[in-house]
Chain A
Amino acid sequence: MLRVKRISCFYCGTCVAICPRANLELIDSYLFIGKDCAECGICAGVCPVGALEVLNEEQI
C-alpha cells in the first residue's frame, strides 16, 4: 500500500508527473492517491523529501 506522510509532503507534484498509472493527483495542498496503484515505488524514490512510502502487509 502506498502511503503519503502528510506532514512531510510539500505538495510539489513531482510524484504526479512520474506515476506510470496517473494514479496521483495534487489538488491545492492535498495529494490524492487513487485506487490504481501498482506499488512500483517510483514516486517514493523520486520524492525530494521522502514523503511517500510503500508499506508491506505487516506494516499496514
Chain B
Amino acid sequence: MKSRYDVLVIGGGPGGAVAAEKAAAEGLSVCLAEKRPAIGTPVRCAEGIGKEALKKFIDPDPCFISAEISRAAITAPDGESMILDSSKCGNKIGYVVERKIFDRELVRQAADSGADILLKTNAKAPVIENGFIKGAYLEGMADKISADVVIAADGVESRFSRMCGINTLVSPREMMSGAQYLLAGIDIEPDMNIFNVGNSVAPKGYLWVFPKGESIANVGVGIQGLKSGEGHRAKDYLDNFVRKKFPGGKIIEFITGGVPVCRPLPETAADGLMVVGDAARVVEPLTGGGIYNAMYTGELAAKVAVDSISGEDYSRDSLGKYDSLWRSSPMGKSLEQNYLMKEYFVTLSDEKLNRLIHSASKIALKDFSVIQLVKELVLRNPELIIELRSAGIFMN
C-alpha cells in the first residue's frame, strides 16, 4: 500500500465508489478509504432508483435488482390513493436495489479500474498545508495518505468537510429522521411503490412501501427531525403503520438513518477538496433520493480531478469547476426547484392533501418525475399555480 496518491476518496458509498472508479480509469492513482469493515452495510436507504439513472453508471445486474417498478401510488391521509401509471413512459420506470450488493459492485468496479481500497479505515483529520487539503490522517489500515485532491464522500455525517472548515451542519428542521423494516410475508403489488402522506402517518415526510419481491418490501418512514421526540419517533410511526396494514408481516431487518433535505452546501469545492453526494447535501429534497445524485457528482468530481491534476492546479479556482458544473446541470436545477416544492408541500394540511390526491384516481405520466406529477396536479387543481408561484415556483 502506498502512502501517496493523486486522489484520496473518503467513503465507499455510491458517490465515493464512482469517483474512485472514474478517476482510476483515467489513469490516476486512487485510494478509497471506508470506515466500515464491509462495503454497503449497514444499509441506510429505501433502495429506490430510476431505471435510466441507474443504467448511466452500471448495468442492471439481477444480482442487485430486487424488484422492477412500473407504477406508484400516493396514498392520502384518508386512505384514498392516486395511481401513477407509466404506460406513457416505457412502463418499467425504476428499480428497488439490494444496496449491500449494489455498493459492493460499484467498489469492485473501482478496484478493477485500479483504485486501492482501505476498509475499516476512519479519516481522523485532514492533512492541511498552506491552506490546501493534501490528504488525511487515518485510523485503521493506514495512518496517513497524502494526495493532491481529496474527494469527501462521507455521507450524511459529512464530518470530513466540516473538519476542513466547510459548514455541513443540518438543522433538525431539514433532517429527516428515518426508520425502516424489511418486512416479509406481506400482501403487496410487487411492481408498485407506495408513498403514504399525512401528518398522522409521517409528519412533514412520508411513509413508503418499496417492494423487494413478491411478498417482501422495504417499509419505512421519514419524519421531520423537529417532529421527532419521545413516544413519536420514526420507529413509533412505523410500528403504528405496520400494526394496522401488515399485522402478519415478519420483520427480517431493521435499519435507521437520516436524510438531509436542505439546500446543497453553498461551496462544494475548496483548495484540494471536492465534496460529493449526501456529504454535499445533494439529495432530492422532496423524495429523499440520493443514489443517482451521489454517483453523478462523484463522476463529475473525478473528471475535474483529472483536469486539475494534468494542469497541476489543485486550487479552489480549478476544482471549483466541479461546483459550477453540477449546479448548472439539470440535476442541480432540479434540486433547487424540488427544494422549493418540498418547502411548499410540507405546509399542506391533511385536508388539502386529501383534496389534491382525490383530484385523480389515476394519472399516466409522460415522464416519471416530480415536476411532471406537479404539472398534472396543477391541471386538475388550478388554484395550485398561484400557491406555487407565491412559493417561488414557476411552472412553464
- A: residues with CB less than 8 A from B are 10-20, 22, 25-28, 42, 45-50
Q: Are B234 and A17 in contact (CB under 8 A)?
A: no
Q: How far is the CB of A45 from chain B (nearest CB, A)?
A: 5
Instruction: Judge if B81 is at the interface, Cβ distance under 8 Å.
Output: no
Contact between chains at A45 and B258 (CB < 8 Å): no
B residues apposed to A, CB below 8 Å = 35-37, 42, 44, 120, 122, 139, 155-159, 162-163, 168-172, 175, 177-179, 225-226, 228-230, 233-235, 254-258, 260
Q: Chain B residues with Cβ under 8 A from A47's Cβ?
A: 177, 228, 233
Interface contact A18-B257, CB-CB below 8 Å: no
- A27-B122, A50-B233 are known; give 11 further A-B pairs, CB within 8 A: A12-B257, A13-B44, A17-B170, A17-B175, A17-B260, A18-B170, A18-B225, A22-B163, A48-B177, A48-B228, A48-B257
The distance in angstroms between the C-alpha atoms of A19 and B157, with both chains bound, is 10
Q: Within 8 Å CB of A50, what residues of B? A: 230, 233, 235
8 Å CB contact of A11 from B42, B163, B233: B42
B256 adjacent to A28 (CB under 8 Å):
no
**Is the Cβ of B233 less than 8 Å from the Cβ of A48?**
yes
Q: Is the CB of A17 within 8 A of B168?
A: yes
- Selected A-B contacts with CB under 8 Å, 14 pairs: A12-B44, A13-B155, A13-B257, A14-B225, A16-B157, A16-B159, A17-B156, A19-B169, A28-B120, A45-B228, A47-B233, A48-B177, A48-B233, A48-B258
Query: In the complex, which of the residues A16, A27, A28, A45 contacts B225, with contact meaning CB atoms closer than 8 Å?
Result: A45
**How many residue pairs at the A-B interface have CB separations less than 8 Å?**
94
Q: Which residues from B are CB-within-8-Å of A12?
A: 42, 44, 255-258
A46 to chain B, nearest CB (A): 4
Q: Which of A15, A25, A26, A48 contacts B178 (CB 8 A)?
A: A48
**For residue A9, which residue of chain B has the nearest CB?**
B256
How far is the CB of B54 from the nearest CB of chain A, in Å? 24
CB proximity of A27 to chain B, nearest CB, Å: 5
A17 to B226, CA, bound (A): 14
The reply to whether B229 and A45 contact each other, CB–CB distance below 8 Å, is: yes
Let me know if A10 and B229 touch, CB within 8 A.
no
Most chain B C-beta atoms within 10 Å of own C-beta, residue among A18, A22, A48:
A48
Q: Please name all residues of chain A whose beta carbon is closer than 8 Å to the beta carbon of B158 when the two chains form the complex.
A: 17
Contact (Cβ within 8 A) B36 A46: no
Whether B235 pairs with A48 at a CB distance below 8 angstroms is: yes
Given contacts A42-B172, A46-B172, A48-B233, contact A17 B178 (CB under 8 A): no
Cα-based distance from A23 to B180 in the complex (angstroms) = 26
The smallest beta-carbon distance between A41 and chain B, in angstroms, is 10
Residues in A with CB closer than 8 Å to B172 are 18, 42, 45-46
* In contact, B177 and A28 (Cβ under 8 angstroms): no
The CA-CA distance from A18 to B230 in the complex, in Å, is 18
CB distance from A55 to the nearest CB of B (A): 14
